Amino acid sequence: MNELLVRQIRAAAGRYLSAGAERGEIDRRRAAGRRFPDDDDRLQLRAARLVEQHEVPGQVLLATSPEESGPRLAERIIGATNDLQSVNFLARGLRAAACVARIWYSTGGPVQPQATGFLVGPSLLLTNHHVFPDAATAAGAFAEFGAEMGIDNDLPVHTTRFTPDPDTLFLTDEHLDFTLVVMRPGGDGRPPGQIFGHLGLIAAEGKLVVGDPVNVIGHPDGRLKEIAIRENRFTQRFDDFLQYETDTEPGNSGSPVFNDQWEAVGLHHSGVPAHDDSGTVLNLQGLPWQPEQGLAQIKWIANEGVRISVILARLGALTTNDTQRAVLAQLGAGSGLGSAPTMRTGVPAPRAPVATVPGAESVALTGAAGRPDAFGGRVRLVFIHGRSQQGQDPAQLRRMWAAGLNSGLTLAGLPTVDPQDVWFPFYGDRLVEVMESALPVEAPLSPSARGLYEQLLDEAARRAGMPAAGQVAVTENIWDHVVGTVHEPLGWIAAHTGVDRLVIRAAFRDVAAYLDRDDTRVAVLDQVLAGLPWSGPVVLVAHSLGTVVAMDLLTRLGPQLPVAGLITVGSPLGMDTVYSRLRAGGAHLPPIAGPWFNAWCPTDPVAIGCPLADDWSGLGAECAVANPHDRAHDIGAYLAHREVATAIGRLLG
């Protein structure tokens, strides 16, 4: 028996066993009358997505009463899309089913139907790692399309076979149990997706809540194509996986898992077996199961799939060459991988600075200075930190930044850096000090800063896909109510990115405070200037609020400190609320700066205005990276990416 599959089955049992407390909370909510017992933010994001996509009957919105709000309103909207379906539900399902193929290969004997796969691009097939664990297995297989019963239960008249081309692209991950492989074109030169269509993968949240039905299309036990649409409910969400109650069989490995709008939400990979308290898998007789008994003897209690959004994030983090990135662009804009990093040329040469730096030497140095002979004396590396660093040790922060960068430099095959060679100007305490002295104790922000903060949240939510009121054809009063309850900006951003509300609130609060008052801005810039090296050239690496500080800093540097390059990560500079208030007066790089590279994570709420290329001039290159779910805005995670470290290492070289 496939050892990889056995490991996946046991891992699924372990996840189920570890989530007993969460299932208890879900059961408590269901007993209290919650039809969709998910978190409130998830419910609101799901309802908003359904409204935005015109999936909700207009009568439901028109019948909304003023008393309905929050989860109650969200459940009403979600329920309306589950109770009755438009007749096009069937046509859309048939369209999705056409992309699904039966996979044949040999496991030592004759070639047989073994699993399922589905097209996610004109020539891209997605299936499980335990189906195609290596390129050699894929090279010896073929995918059969059209293997399904006819409308009158007649056998298929014609099926079409396509073979994988793993030499062009073969990306796989054992933990997430997925493999993405290119398919060769057919005899007429067309890739399979031009004939059978393909599914668009969507990285955004809001596609599913606990209690929603899920639909699975595949080839169970190698049979002709079948669909599971009865007694099927999404029951539990994990960081990387989904578990659900749906009838499947071993041949369903590699099947797409859909919501009722036929959006792919998961890649089915395993059943969840019954198990005892120690996690031992049980057979149909309630005794410990052994692999030699076969999968048919396992007592199954649920099923499990890999989250599509997690697969996309992992694909974004894999190291790929130019040819592979061009192939991945087939996944489309919704995947976050639909285009290669945007490159611009013709960065203007440095010329006279906009302003000089009077009196910066009078500010006390609070950061950590680097060694003047570092990097052969050719260049100085400067880290400019972000928000919420008050009370921290600058030397310890510098070591943490350097550790992340050294991870990325190692991946890139470039020399690592000694933390003591890096300059780390520190303004964290100064920022809090000037904010508290400028604001009343009883108010967290001044009225003008509060307005700016709300403007930032509103713009971030809109950039994250929150629809405007005019996008839905209902009466204005009713839609105002829907917007007020389902589309609250902070909740939308939190649900879209998976980042805690408090983290988002604090991040945008500090950006607003910095941009609102010129005396705050001057105090921060003076503090940073005091911690810079006294001669250049310098390479500036900035994170979060520090990218805004760095952009303002460029307007105050004199010719004695030329900038060899600028690297920004996790930046809010893509928001017009931010760049319109910069000292440079807009979205253009001050001419003193050298080449500029920007990196952003699609689930980082602070970088939600990225990519920058559409708005900014002077940008040399940028790319999207996939940070871990719980570290979407983390500086160490950003610097550990090969692309980011390479941009820095080449400037130091």
User: Stretch 444-448: mean pLDDT, rounded?
Assistant: 60
Q: What percent of the chain has pLDDT over 70?
A: 82
In this structure, of 99-103, 170-174, 367-371, the range with the lowest mean pLDDT score is 367-371
Question: Given this model, what pLDDT does residue 465 score?
Answer: 66
Question: Given this model, what pLDDT does residue 222 score?
Answer: 85
Does residue 251 register a pLDDT over 90? no
Does residue 360 register a pLDDT over 50? no
**Which is more confident, 437 or 652?**
652
Question: Given this model, what pLDDT does residue 184 score?
Answer: 96
In this structure, of 433-442, 477-486, 591-600, the range with the lowest mean pLDDT score is 477-486
Most confidently modeled of 47-61, 140-154, 254-268?
Answer: 254-268
Does residue 577 register a pLDDT over 70? yes
In angstroms, rounded to a whole number, what is the distance separating the alpha carbons of residues 292 and 282?
A: 13
Question: Given this model, what pLDDT does residue 491 score?
Answer: 67
In this structure, of 297-301, 543-547, 647-651, the range with the lowest mean pLDDT score is 297-301
pLDDT tens readout for residues 206-228: 899 999 999 999 998 888 999 98
pLDDT tens readout for residues 392-420: 889 999 999 999 999 889 888 899 999 99
Task: DSSP for 445-484, please give it.
Answer: S-HHHHHHHHHHHHHHHHHTTPPPGGGS-S-HHHHHHHHH
**Burial degree of 637 (CB within 10 A; 0-12, 13-18, 19+):** buried
Mean pLDDT over each residue of the chain, to the nearest integer:
82
pLDDT-derived band at 355, boundaries 50, 70, 90: very low
In angstroms, rounded to a whole number, what is the distance separating the alpha carbons of residues 365 and 362?
A: 9
Pairing verdict, β 380-384 and 538-543:
parallel
User: Radius of gyration of the chain from Cα atoms?
Assistant: 27
Does residue 156 register a pLDDT over 90? no
Pairing verdict, β 621-624 and 596-600:
parallel
Does residue 471 register a pLDDT over 50? no
Q: What percent of the chain has pLDDT over 90?
A: 36
**Which is more confident, 593 or 57?**
593
User: Measuring CA to CA, which residue among 312, 369, 202 is closest to residue 625?
Assistant: 312
pLDDT-derived band at 80, boundaries 50, 70, 90: confident
Contact criterion met (CB below 8 Å) for 220 and 47: no
pTM of the model: 0.56
Question: Given this model, what pLDDT does residue 485 score?
Answer: 38
Question: Given this model, what pLDDT does residue 481 score?
Answer: 43
Does residue 446 register a pLDDT over 80? no
Question: Given this model, what pLDDT does residue 108 score?
Answer: 80
Question: Given this model, what pLDDT does residue 70 score?
Answer: 60
| Domains by residue range for the chain, with CATH | 86-339 (2.40.10.120), 357-434+517-652 (3.40.50), 443-509 (no CATH)
Pairing verdict, β 112-121 and 100-105:
antiparallel
pLDDT tens readout for residues 546-562: 999 999 999 888 777 89
| CA dihedral sign of residues 30, 33, 39, 45 | positive
Does residue 568 register a pLDDT over 80? yes
User: Stretch 373-383: mean pLDDT, rounded?
Assistant: 92
In angstroms, rounded to a whole number, what is the distance separating the alpha carbons of residues 263 and 265?
A: 6
Question: Given this model, what pLDDT does residue 417 score?
Answer: 93
Question: Given this model, what pLDDT does residue 204 score?
Answer: 80
**Which is more confident, 128 or 609?**
128
Question: Tokens representing 89?
Answer: 């539900």
Question: Tokens representing 77?
Answer: 């909207």
Contact criterion met (CB below 8 Å) for 236 and 19: yes
Question: Given this model, what pLDDT does residue 521 score?
Answer: 87
**Which is more confident, 431 or 99?**
99
Question: Given this model, what pLDDT does residue 255 score?
Answer: 95
